[in-house]
Amino acid sequence: MKPSTFTTFVSVADSPDLGLKRHLLSRTHFGFDLQTLEARSNMGYDACVEQILEGTRDDTLLPLPDILNENLLRRDKSPMDDEERQRRRATLRQARASLKVWWVRQMLTAPSQLREKMTLFWHNHFVSAVQKVRSPLLMARQNMLFRNEAVGNFRRLLESIVRDPAMLVYLDNISNTKNSPNENLGRELLELFTLGEGNYTEDDVKAAARALTGYSVNRTDGTFRFDVRQHDFGEKSFLGQKGNFDAEAIVRIILEQDATAVFIVRKLWREFISDTPDEEEVQRLAALFRSGDYEIRPLLKKILLSDAFKAAPNRLIKSPVELLVGLARMFDADTVLAEKIAQGCRILGQTLFDPPNVKGWPGYTAWIDTQSLLRRRQALAKAAGMLSHTEMEPEPELLETLELWLLGTDPLSEIPTTSVGAAIKAMTEDPVFELK
């Protein structure tokens, strides 16, 4: 990243719809410097949306940490001595930490910020946590699945997730067998991943669990394994259909339901627009999503171009990742800060690769309680203390531009005009800065 050595700025008065474009950037990026905003000053809004969506075709990826190439899977059951066990544990711990820092670094530098945000969105939708999965390698592979389909196709994503080793471990499907089904994955597949609560019965959960029996993981290389002996080939009755369903059939039936597209669109609404989805509009977008065979990019385009989107700036609350990665990106932070940012995200309640439970981070107002607000302000104050060369006195026009860039609207607190640094510090500590 290059430092912001700019010498000119666009005045807000010269670009009347800059505020709307700022809103678009703040929802589709983890954070952006002033130049990124200024570069849009002469573009139309629709062209900005198009540019961001086309940008998602860039899949530039930082190489995964080398430590993931080490033998992180237990290949045999031979007993380990204490020293070997400790060495293994240390390697695993280090690999988990490196993976988290790797993702922060990727977020800091990803050319397509939207693709990166959607990768995080799917991580928080199809939740698995390394604390239970143990293996950072399986988590890294799952992350690759999320980023490959981040703005791709929801059907493919769903087809892959029921065969994803990290998921099969996380939701106990490796012990879901013909003679003793385990409902964990079957239930969450319906409740949290697709249909949503209220759109299926307990019998459907049991049928889904039976269809998923035998979907397991190879101990030797951590790949998907279909265990024929443990799969229940019997007839099942699922959402009104009867057949010898396996997981693929269950996924097909799930995608035939209206409820699935509605559930996903509603969740995307809460991610991109506001916490109060317009149900009529959700139904309309969901119908288009389904008839478009669950292609994600066109759906995002409709969302970003919608009147509802344009009408809702600063109605959402930044997640810790958005707050800290965003701050670093706004001020061209060194990527060496990635480690600190990963730690900061954990302290603020969002440990990457480790959501608190299968429902993921609840988001919105749940990000802010007395404890987390204090931690956020501490982090922001610390960051403001790291800003360099900001002693000059700003002219009113520059202050106005800084406010548009950092807050998008008037601050609630008094902003000092003694220096650019003091003004920026006060803006980042204003309650409005917590919004996106």
Residue list 76-105, contact with another protein (CB under 8 A): none
* Chosen residue from 202, 280, 307, 410 binding another protein by CB under 8 A: 202
- Cα Rg of the chain (Å, integer): 23
Distance (Å, whole) CA 119 – CA 151? 8
Q: Which amino acid is at 25?
A: L
Torsion from C-alpha of 259, 261, 267, 270, nearest 10 degrees: -110
Instruction: Compute how many residues bind another protein; rule: CB under 8 A.
Output: 77
Residue list 322-381, contact with another protein (CB under 8 A): 327-328, 331-334, 336-337, 349, 356-359, 364-365, 368-375, 377-378, 381
Distance (Å, whole) CA 43 – CA 24? 13
Closest CA to 367 of 275, 280, 304: 275
Distances (CA, A) of 418 to 93, 244, 392, 401, 403: 47, 73, 8, 16, 15
Residue list 415-434, contact with another protein (CB under 8 A): 420-421, 424, 431-432, 434
Q: Minimum CB separation from another protein for residue 150, in Å?
A: 25
403 binding another protein? (CB under 8 A): no
385 binding another protein? (CB under 8 A): yes
140 or 316: whose CB is closer to another protein? 316
140 or 211: whose CB is closer to another protein? 211
**Where does this chain touch another protein (CB under 8 A) — which range of 117-125, 149-157, 171-179, 219-227?**
171-179
Torsion from C-alpha of 328, 330, 332, 337, nearest 10 degrees: 0
192 or 321: whose CB is closer to another protein? 192
Residue list 262-301, contact with another protein (CB under 8 A): 275
140 or 338: whose CB is closer to another protein? 338
Q: Minimum CB separation from another protein for residue 39, in Å?
A: 16
179 or 291: whose CB is closer to another protein? 179
* Chosen residue from 148, 175, 343, 417 binding another protein by CB under 8 A: 175
395 binding another protein? (CB under 8 A): yes
3-state secondary structure of 43: coil
* Chosen residue from 36, 177, 283, 417 binding another protein by CB under 8 A: 177
Distance (Å, whole) CA 65 – CA 377? 31
Distance (Å, whole) CA 149 – CA 123? 12
9 binding another protein? (CB under 8 A): yes
Q: With both helix axes pointing from N to C terminus, report the angle between 113-123 and 45-55 in degrees, rounded to the nearest 10.
A: 70
* Chosen residue from 116, 149, 164, 183 binding another protein by CB under 8 A: 183
3-state secondary structure 237-248: EECCEEECCCHH
Sign for the pseudo-dihedral over CA of 15, 20, 24, 30: positive
172 binding another protein? (CB under 8 A): yes
